[in-house]
């Protein structure tokens, strides 16, 4: 009998939990992207240079990336339901407070607080999925959650941008920040009895962070996550500038095309996550399905970005939609693989570590892209680098991870501390 087949039955999640986690990720991406949308208005009002505005935007990742470890630890030690609720409350208040301050230092500080709060989203959701859902339901659940990473930026750009044009940026931050707190009402309602179920599902000592760090699979999944995120963050942070400056789109044309690309990404994540579950449910190997999805997605992304680097305008536009489909393959698989390897006892801490390495791409990709554009005067080199990094992820996910199956944490939990 395989390790997966031998697992104990899991205590299920309430029907509303995964949709609410998906909504939390949607809010997460709306709130983190608001500053970029308001960037032109903030820059003019506060007299900021481009470099200072870029510093404010990037400050989010200064806390978001390392605090993945803290969020994973809290999800394991306290409770993923309460940790996610506290994180959302913190980031919502930071968003609202941004509309009240004026100084450069205050904006930096609030972006750091925002990153601290938002770091709870993926470790907590991964802990709950790993703890409660069988393997043939993980793809669809993660696909639904990944939709938030696509629709959040689209909503923030379109709706947030229109509201800012009508009433200015400060009221929009207050509305979005305070409005986000409403999510806590249904979440606290559905998770009221959750702590007891959480304790039942988490029976047994969780492995320490040191035990996780010693696993080759943890580093492989982190580096693979970085490879995917490098390409993803490159696209979401530089797509508007690329379309307007390099391809000659108007702002309205850019907004329409960008929105369509995000919608394709959202639909692909949901459909392909569900399709991978159907294969697992039909008896196909979890290892082959998850690795196959990941390899397919990263190869599609790499080829699509390479075409953007070296192809003409019509091919480049089509390739951006192909890249969206590629991200739809890889996005849910990133979390399915980590959740499967970690198992119910380590889902939060594992994803905290994996996500910390993966989100370092949010710091690196925009900076490398800016330097390359300044030095070469075009986007060819940045697209080529993003394609190469994405392709390297296939090695991490498919070769450095021997098998996508729950790891044995028994010895790690019982080993004496040194």
C-alpha distances in Å from residue 47, one per residue of 74, 90, 100, 112: 40, 28, 17, 21
8-state DSSP, 100: T
How many helices, marked H, and strands, marked E, lie in the chain?
Answer: 20, 0
Q: What integer pLDDT is reported at residue 2 of this predicted model?
A: 40
Q: What integer pLDDT is reported at residue 334 of this predicted model?
A: 94
Rounded CA-CA distance 375/366 in Å is 14
pLDDT tens for the chain, 418 residues: list them: 344 444 444 556 678 899 999 999 999 999 888 887 787 788 888 887 767 777 888 889 899 999 999 999 998 888 899 999 999 999 999 999 999 998 889 999 999 999 999 999 999 998 999 888 888 889 999 999 989 888 888 888 778 888 888 888 999 999 999 999 999 999 999 888 665 555 545 555 678 889 999 999 999 999 999 999 999 988 877 777 787 778 887 767 777 787 788 889 999 999 999 999 999 999 999 999 999 999 999 999 999 999 988 877 778 888 999 999 999 999 999 999 999 998 888 888 898 999 999 999 988 888 888 888 888 888 889 999 999 999 999 999 999 999 999 998 876 554 544 4
Residue 8 lies in a domain: no
Consecutive H or E run containing 339 = helix 313-342
Q: What integer pLDDT is reported at residue 194 of this predicted model?
A: 64
Tell me if 13 sits within 8 A of 132, measured CB to CB: yes
How many C-beta atoms surround the C-beta of residue 106 within 10 A?
A: 13
Residue 206 lies in a domain: yes
Rounded CA-CA distance 190/13 in Å is 10
Residue 235 lies in a domain: yes
Q: What integer pLDDT is reported at residue 42 of this predicted model?
A: 84
Residue 84 lies in a domain: yes
Residue 1 lies in a domain: no
Rounded CA-CA distance 161/265 in Å is 21
Residue 7 lies in a domain: no
The number of domains in the chain is: 1
Q: What integer pLDDT is reported at residue 303 of this predicted model?
A: 96
Domain harbouring 377, CATH code: 1.20.1250.20
Radius of gyration of the chain (CA): 21
Positions of E strands within 278-376: none
For residue 269, how many C-alpha atoms fall within 13 Å in the half-sphere facing its CB? 25
Residue 2 lies in a domain: no
pTM greater than the 0.75 cutoff = yes
Tell me if 390 sits within 8 A of 209, measured CB to CB: no
Residue 221 lies in a domain: yes
List b or e across 242-277, with b for residues whose CB sees 16 or more CB atoms inside 10 angstroms.
bbeebeebeeeebbebbbebbbbbbbbbbebbbbbb
Domain with 377, as residue range(s), is 17-412
8-state DSSP, 248: -
Q: What integer pLDDT is reported at residue 402 of this predicted model?
A: 95
């Amino acid at each position: 009998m395989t390790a997966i087949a031998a697992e104990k039955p899991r205590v299920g999640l309430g029907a509303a939990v995964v949709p609410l986690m998906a909504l939390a990720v949607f809010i997460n991406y709306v709130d983190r992207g608001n500053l970029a949308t308001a960037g032109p208005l903030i820059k003019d009002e506060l007299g900021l240079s481009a470099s200072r505005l870029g510093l404010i935007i990037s400050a989010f990742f200064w806390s978001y990336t390392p605090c993945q470890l803290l969020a994973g630890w809290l999800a394991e030690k306290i409770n993923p339901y309460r940790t996610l609720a506290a994180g959302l409350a913190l980031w919502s208040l930071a968003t609202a407070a941004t509309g009240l301050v004026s100084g450069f230092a205050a904006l930096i500080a609030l972006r750091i607080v925002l990153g601290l709060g938002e770091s709870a989203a993926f470790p907590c959701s991964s802990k709950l999925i790993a703890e409660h859902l069988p393997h043939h339901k993980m793809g669809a659940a993660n696909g639904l959650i990944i939709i938030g990473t696509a629709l959040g930026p689209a909503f923030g750009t379109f709706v947030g941008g229109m509201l800012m044009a009508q009433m200015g940026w400060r009221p929009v931050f207050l509305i979005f920040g305070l409005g986000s707190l409403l999510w806590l009402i249904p979440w606290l309602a559905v998770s009221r009895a959750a702590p007891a179920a959480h304790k039942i599902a988490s029976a047994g000592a969780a492995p320490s962070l040191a035990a996780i760090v010693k696993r080759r699979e943890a580093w492989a999944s982190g580096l693979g996550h970085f490879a995917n995120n490098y390409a993803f963050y490159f696209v979401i942070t530089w797509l508007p500038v690329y379309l307007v400056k390099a391809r000659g789109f108007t702002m309205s044309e850019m907004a329409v095309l960008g929105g369509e690309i995000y919608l394709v990404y959202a639909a692909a994540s949901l459909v392909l996550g569900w399709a991978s579950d159907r294969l697992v449910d039909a008896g196909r190997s979890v290892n082959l399905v998850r690795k196959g999805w990941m390899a397919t997605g990263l190869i599609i992304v790499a080829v699509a970005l390479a075409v953007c680097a070296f192809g003409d305008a019509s091919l480049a536009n089509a390739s951006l939609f192909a890249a969206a489909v590629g991200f739809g393959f890889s996005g849910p698989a990133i979390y399915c693989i980590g959740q499967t390897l970690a198992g119910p006892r380590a889902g939060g801490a594992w994803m905290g570590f994996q996500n910390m390495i993966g989100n370092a791409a949010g710091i690196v990709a925009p900076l490398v892209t800016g330097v390359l554009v300044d030095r070469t005067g075009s986007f060819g080199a940045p697209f080529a680098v993003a394609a190469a990094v994405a392709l390297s992820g296939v090695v991490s996910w498919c070769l450095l991870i021997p098998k996508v199956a729950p790891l044995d944490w028994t010895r790690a939990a019982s080993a004496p501390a040194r």
